[in-house]
Amino acid sequence: MILLNLSIYLRTKLRFLQEQISTINIWHRLATDFKPTNLDNFIQQEVTLQQLPDVLSILLKGQAKGRILVSL
């Protein structure tokens, strides 16, 4: 019974680790292989957290153009 529980636990842990590795690999590919070369050209506006409520109202109205970067 103990060996069965240990086996189930180890399989569950292994599956979790495999999922974590897959997620890390995906994020790595997004940050390297799929990263646009001209990413800085996409950003039209840079705002602070204090300016965010005003920008969100513009976004919700559909009046925003380009990408908006929020500086933390």
Say what the pLDDT of residue 65 is: 86
- pLDDT of 46: 93
Whether residue 9 is found in the same domain as residue 28: yes
Instruction: Show the tokens assigned to 7.
Output: 């086996």
DSSP 7-72: HHHHHHHHHHHHHHHHHHHHHHHHHTTT--TTHHHHEEEEEETTTHHHHHHHHHHT---SEEEEE-
pTM over 0.75: no
Same domain, 30 and 42: no
Co-location of 22 and 48 in the same domain: no
Q: Are residues 31 and 41 in the same domain?
A: no
Domain match, 26 and 43 both: no
| Residues 28, 4 share a domain | yes
Give the tens place of pLDDT for each residue, 7-45: 999 999 999 999 999 999 999 999 999 888 887 788 889
* Domain interval for residue 6: 1-35
Pairing of strands 67-71, 43-48: parallel
1 plus 29 within the same structural domain: yes
Q: What is the pLDDT of residue 61?
A: 94
